[in-house]
Amino acid sequence: MQLLLLAILFVLVSTSEGKTCNGNGYRTDCGHYGIQQYDCEQLDCCWSPKDHIPWCFHQNPDTVYRVKTLIKTGLGYELTLEMTDTQIPSALPLLDVSITFETEDRLHVKISDPENKRWQVPKEVSPYPDPPSEAPTNTQYEVTIADEGEEFWFAVERTVNGESLFNSSASSGVEFLTYHDQYLEIGTDLPSNPTIYGLGEHVSSLRLRTGQTYTLWNFDAPNPVDVNLYSSHPFYLDLRDGLAHGVYLRNSNGMDVTLNEQSLSYKVIGGILDFYFFLGPEPETVIQQYHDVIGRPHLPPYWALGFHQSRYGYPNIQALKDVVADYHEHKLPLDTIWSDIDYMDEYKDFTVDPTNYPEGELKAFVDQLHTDGQQYVVVIDPGIKNEESYKPYDDGVKAGVFIKDKDDKFFVGKVWPGHTVFPDFFHPDADQYWHDQIASFLDIVPVDGLWINMNEISNFCDGECSGGGKKFNTTDDKRIEEFVYKDEKDVGFNPNSPPFAINNKGSRAPLNVKTLDMDALHYDGVLEYNVHNLYGLMESISTKLALGKLSNKRPFVLTRSSFPGSGKYAAKWTGNNHATYDDLYYSISGMLSLQMFGLPLSGSDICGYFGDSNAELCARWMQLGAFYPFSRNHNNKGATSQEPYAFDEQVTDISRHVLNARYSLLPYYYTLFHYASRPISSTNSPAATVTRPLFFEFPDDPNTYDIDRQFMVGNGLLISPVLTEGAVTVSAYFPEGRWYDFFTNKRETKFGGEMRTLQAPLEKIPVHVRGGVIIPMQQPSLTTSEARKTPYQLLVALDPCGVAQGSLYLDDGISVDVSSYSLITYDASSNEGQTSLTSKVEGTYADGPDIPPLDTIVVLGVATEPSSVTINEKDVDASQIQYDSDSSSFTLSKLQLPMKDKFTIIWSE
């Protein structure tokens, strides 16, 4: 009884007016960061610093939007909403809602200001499809909305089972809808213990945790756990009893998304509420439907799938030459050597250090790399040194393409070269400016790609550095009216510390910490406040455009900052991690989340960036990293060397072993990239991701929902790395099915649906092939260009019914135009002890004279030695058939089958 009383007292707080506030459950922030009790209560809000944030909160919905008009249209509904409670004048008096049934599995709900004055992400920056001309007929969703005169809410249900997927009139005290100048709030109820993924970029577990706020605000931090990082991806995937749906909030402003035990809420500090719902129902289809909206990822050049070595602190060209030579000497595959800022003259973009990286010598080095089938990629940062007579600065001043401060001067921050200004990619002349700088640089050093770093934008000052920039007069500036803040206390528009403080930096820090001031101005008066999260994406677009024009080859761009749509232009790594086992583990969820966000060419700095790596950690990281889609070893200046040969012979051997596995699997990876990049119009693309969580393949198996220490490559490879210091075993989950050891071809004795303890001494990473899948392979080589020339091999892993399928995509790996390609599909099926394997060829690339033949086929899961094997009805010579009873597999070798020819291979057990 006493306990109960205490509990009641705990949640009931009284304000100065004697009003009783319920402090339990959901709270809507009423104050601002640092607000005190008196000010809070003056706002007629509840004050309760005893428990969770916010301490100052609205008791009741402060803004009630009622449905004024509701029209059923051919494509859905159009509504107008009217605010009927005017406690806070900064709330918008009128709103428009349009609900569009776009496809059978995509619904669009947009809640905006009637005059469209508020900030919206431009279509050219991050795309979205046009509405259809006709409504789809059998939608997977049904929409319920409030009636005219009622308080507005909407709900989305899954047609097939009536499950409520999103309901803005949810329980637990969530506001139906709040819509202020600088504060928008909406939410939904969720089933208890929700299964939610996405909402990046964060270093966190793959499955998001309840009771946690995920803040989206691009920020350069050394990868702290759960804190907002370099990118913003307001997308989540929700999985319920095997059925998945996705929710995308198309908004570039800062936001907190809070996942509670039974609800999810958005608190957004600008823009509009523009939602897309994707009905799946498989996780992989949700992702495809999402990528259809934001743009499919690019197909990378083939060499980008090779291994990359980078570090900050290679002191001169000789150091680069030594690394390339050491890789070669140790017979370690290496495609690309990278330079961090060391190559620059005083860290200035588009220059080279005349002493340590002299022009002529650097060019000769790069030419030699190209002769050897290798590549060179260098970093550039957006910050252009604020220095007269430095051409990139002078050109930018002349063109007026730098971001400006509130006083109409160029905004001056500070990065590696000292005081810098920043290109404004909203300026219509910025692409030409950026192109010209890149063009001049390529004349000096013919690099194969650019690594765009620090583009959050990262700044060593919090906001503008003192000293300021050069005055630049324009007449085109008009600030968007949205930000005339009309609070009754007349606090004015406070760009860096708006009334609601998102949890920036994990401490509700001002928005300009380590970046620009939020009243910095882009072209046409666009405020940094609105477009901060878009900068990395816009730089990626401009950089890719320039490289594409200048080289006529598929461009390669690696970015640190991203937004929905970035995968069309760039690869992405997870930023500045640490040489720790924790970060080894987090690299998996980082990579898998980026797959959902449409950035499949992703991975983490192998062996760790900050801090000294060591032999064991680096060996384990090379083993895991060899299977990242983007596989790069990168290290900080001053840290222990961590190239795979830098420790001892064992680490070198381990690295060679896994890199050889990677290089032999390149045809499989490249085929997966092809599917991920296939345009919207093409049907039957099996997947949008390259690596994927286990639940993507086994959504009906709840045991997979929390797994983020293992992952799949495509649908056919299961990777179970060791992530613990000193461990020589790993406990791994095997979903139902048949699994074979990739390295020994041996079938696991049990068929799955269970945790198993696998032996994994230092030299071993467990990799398993899933029965039912055919994996195209080639021979390992020291470069991808050499590997491409080796004969093909098929790894046919039969399922318990003797069935398997796979495909292989072929093109020249570098052309921008991929109209010359081949897609070969392989199909194995069994009937009464007889198995046939057939191929089908689509397209003409495989007809080329230099395409290596299919030489070897390895079939896994064959209980007895085949009695006869025929290819296209001709007997295969017994010397070409090798049965291994130990692994129940057989190998057909010396086949020399042209890739362009269809074949049927039949064997009987």
Ligand X SMILES: *[C@@H]1O[C@H](CO)[C@@H](O)[C@H](O)[C@H]1NC(C)=O
User: CA-to-CA distance for 602 and 592, rounded, in angstroms?
Assistant: 9
Angle of CA points 850, 854, 858, to nearest 5°: 155
Query: Which CB atom, from 170 or from 516, has the smaller least distance to ligand X?
Result: 170
Q: Which residue in the set 144, 368, 844, 896 belongs to the binding site for ligand X (CB under 6 A)? A: 144
Nearest partner of 741 among 756, 726, 723, judged by Cα: 756
**Cβ 189 to ligand X shortest distance, Å:** 7
# residues contacting ligand X (CB under 6 A): 8
Residue closer to ligand X by CB (options 159, 318) is 159
The minimum distance between CB 265 and ligand X, in angstroms, equals 14
Q: How many CA atoms lie within 13 A of 844 on its CB side?
A: 2
Q: How far is the CB of 81 from ligand X (least distance, A)?
A: 17
What residue type is assigned to position 440 of the chain? Answer: S
Other Cβ atoms closer than 10 A to 832? 6
Q: Which of residues 32-71 bind ligand X (CB under 6 A)?
A: none
Q: How far is the CB of 272 from ligand X (least distance, A)?
A: 23
Smallest separation (angstroms) from ligand X to the CB of 169: 5
**167 vs 835, beta carbon nearer ligand X:** 167
Q: Is the peptide bond before 780 cis (omega within 30 degrees of 0)?
A: no
End-to-end CA gap in the chain: 75
C-beta contacts of 84-88 below 8 A and 24+ residues apart: 85/61, 87/44, 87/62, 87/63, 88/62, 88/63, 88/180, 88/487, 88/488
Alpha carbon dihedral 489, 494, 497, 499, in 10-degree steps, equals 40
Residue 331 phi/psi, 5-degree rounding, is: 55, 45
Task: Pick the closer one to ligand X by CB: 189 or 811.
Answer: 189
Residue window 632-651: x/- pattern of binding to ligand X, with contact defined by CB under 6 A: --------------------
**Shortest distance, CB of residue 164 to ligand X, whole angstroms?**
3
Q: Which is nearer to ligand X, 171 or 885 (CB)?
A: 171
Residue 25: CB minimum distance to ligand X, A: 14
Give the residue with the Cβ less far from ligand X, 145 or 810. 145
Least distance (Å) between residue 50 CB and ligand X? 28
CB 90 within 8 A of CB 487: yes
Q: How far is the CB of 624 from ligand X (least distance, A)?
A: 42
Residue with tokens 């085109």: 476
**Measured from the CB of residue 266, what is the shortest distance to ligand X in angstroms?**
17
d(CA 787, CA 435): 33
Q: Which CB sits closer to ligand X, 185 or 284? A: 185
Pick between residue 215 and residue 263 the one whose CB is nearest to ligand X: 263
The partner residues of 905 in beta bridges, in order of sequence, read 837, 871
Where are the strands (E) in 456-589, listed by range? 521-522, 526-527, 557-559, 571-573
Nearer to ligand X, 39 or 157 (CB): 157
Q: Which is nearer to ligand X, 263 or 785 (CB)?
A: 263
Q: What is the DSSP string of 685-712?
A: ---S-SEE-HHHH-TT-GGGTT--S-EE
What CA–CA distance (Å, rounded) separates 401 from 76? 42
In this complex, which beta carbon is closest to ligand X, that of residue 171 or of residue 650? 171
CB of 174 to ligand X, least distance (A): 10
145 binds ligand X (CB under 6 A): no
Spatial CB neighbours of 197, under 8 Å, sequence gap ≥ 6: 206, 207, 208, 236, 237, 239, 593, 596, 693
Nearer to ligand X, 150 or 700 (CB): 150
169 or 543: CB nearest ligand X: 169
Binding mask of the shown chain, residues 737 to 756, with x at each position contacting ligand X by CB under 6 A: --------------------
Considering only CA atoms, give the Rg of the chain: 29
Q: What is the DSSP letter of 880?
A: G
Q: Which residue has the tokens 């097939």?
A: 160
Please give the single-letter amino acid code of residue 301: P
Q: Please state the closest distance from residue 523 (CB atom) to ligand X, in A.
A: 43
- Other beta carbons within 10 Å of 38: 9
- For residues 260 and 660, which CB has a smaller minimum distance to ligand X in the complex? 260
Contacts of 642 (CB under 8 A, 6+ apart): 311, 579, 607, 608, 613, 618, 633, 635
Beta strands 631-633 and 605-606, pairing class: parallel
Evaluate whether 59 touches 22 at the Cβ level (below 8 Å).
Answer: yes
Please say whether the dihedral angle defined by the alpha carbons of residues 153, 157, 162 and 168, taken in this order, is positive or negative: negative
Torsion sign across C-alpha atoms 754, 284, 667, 856: positive
x/- string (CB under 6 A) for ligand X, residues 148-187? -------x-x------x--x-xxx----------------
For the bound state, the minimum distance from the C-beta of residue 278 to ligand X, rounded and expressed in Å, comes to 18
Smallest gap from Cβ 695 to ligand X, in A, equals 25
Instruction: Judge whether 595 and 689 are in contact, CB under 8 Å.
Output: yes
Specify whether the CB–CB gap between 115 and 480 falls below 8 A: no
Query: Smallest distance, Å, CB 191 to ligand X?
Result: 12
Of 170 and 401, which CB lies nearer to ligand X in the complex structure? Answer: 170
Give me the DSSP letters along 247-258: EEE---S-EEEE
Minimum separation from the CB atom of position 152 to ligand X (A):
13
CB of residue 45 vs ligand X: minimum separation in angstroms? 24
List of long-range contacts for 80-87, beta carbons under 8 Å, 24+ apart: 80/114, 81/111, 81/152, 81/177, 83/179, 85/61, 87/44, 87/62, 87/63
Residue placing its CB nearer to ligand X in the complex, 168 or 533: 168
Nearer to ligand X, 65 or 628 (CB): 65
- The C-alpha atoms of residue 369 and residue 789 are separated, in whole angstroms, by 18
Q: Which residues bind ligand X (CB under 6 A)?
A: 144, 155, 157, 164, 167, 169-171
